[in-house]
Amino acid sequence: MNAILSLLDATWPAAALSRAGAFTIREGRGGGSRVSAATVEGPFGAGDIEAAEAAQDALGQTNLFMVLGGQQALDDALAARGYRVKDPVVIYAAATAVLAAPEPGPLTAFTVWPPFEIMRVVWAEGGIGPARLAVMDRVAGPKTAIMGRVPDRMSGVAFVAVVENRAMLHALHVSPAMRRQGSAVNMMRKAAIWAQDHGATELFLAVTKANEAANALYASLGMRIVENYHYRSR
């Protein structure tokens, strides 16, 4: 399996996985595209796509496929079946040691698990509701929520989990009124410090290409693009 996909599955897991032909089927239970999309492993044919569609139909889910970089054959096959591109995404990565310095100022970011109710409220403000919080609860390994603060008010939230020597950050949201005050940077650095303390040497995250502000932030922190994918939806 693609290493990035394996990391995504471990740190933002679907409710259940199954097989349909050459495809892995994810049961999302409302947790978003990432935990609901089918992915291919190895050669496939039209019958495999049809089997994946039938499996998603049986779950009551939209026919949705994740197409990783280099999977041109899958992209072409889905386009021929009337699937349209949805949400192109890039994966960024950086060494935790790079992201962890300089250390954020005192009282600017905290690690909390389980998240406080006010953190859940801020996540909901960003469209991260109970179904996505359930995804976080399913993570089996080391995990934490990050709470940002500017200067004496809660400013944002994020989630990070570790698998062996890699960490992945998800669900970063800063309240609109609290933006442009350095909170996202402080939370990123706090996430890297926590990940480093739990054995991770690299931190990854996924962001849509359309989110220009977030892409600029991650690039400014020295993160590099290591993978890309998009969805195709019917």
What pLDDT shows up at residue 119? Answer: 97
Q: Domain extents for the chain?
A: 3-89, 92-227
Tokens of 46: 């039209």
What pLDDT shows up at residue 151? Answer: 84
The fold of 92-227 is Aminopeptidase (3.40.630)
Measured CA distances, 13 to 4, 49, 139 (Å): 13, 22, 7
What pLDDT shows up at residue 221? Answer: 97
Please list, in sequence order, all residues whose beta carbon lies within 8 angstroms of the beta carbon of residue 134, skipping any fewer than 6 positions away.
15, 29, 31
Per-residue pLDDT, averaged over 149-172, amounts to: 96
The total of other beta-carbon atoms located within 10 Å of residue 127's CB is 10
Distance CA 158, CA 224 (A): 20
Distance CA 176, CA 125 (A): 9
**Helix (H) / strand (E) containing 227:** strand 224-233
What pLDDT shows up at residue 209? Answer: 97
Distance CA 177, CA 92 (A): 26
Per-residue pLDDT, averaged over 51-78, amounts to: 97
Residue 77 confidence (pLDDT) above 70: yes
What pLDDT shows up at residue 55? Answer: 98
What pLDDT shows up at residue 172? Answer: 97
102 cis-preceded (ω within 30 degrees of 0)? yes
Taken as a whole, the chain contains a residue count of 234
Residue 41: pLDDT band (50, 70, 90) is confident
What pLDDT shows up at residue 152? Answer: 84
What pLDDT shows up at residue 215? Answer: 97
Per-residue pLDDT, averaged over 116-135, amounts to: 97
Please list, in sequence order, all residues whose beta carbon lies within 8 angstroms of the beta carbon of residue 90, skipping any fewer than 6 positions away.
206, 207, 209, 215, 225, 227, 228
Of 38, 36, 39, 31, nearest to 1 by C-alpha is 39
What pLDDT shows up at residue 2? Answer: 87
Tokens of 166: 């890699």
15-39: per-residue pLDDT in tens? 999 999 999 999 999 999 999 999 9
CA atoms within 13 A on the CB side of 141: 20
114 cis-preceded (ω within 30 degrees of 0)? yes
Of 206, 153, 204, nearest to 181 by C-alpha is 153
Tokens of 220: 């400014």
CA atoms within 13 A on the CB side of 188: 27
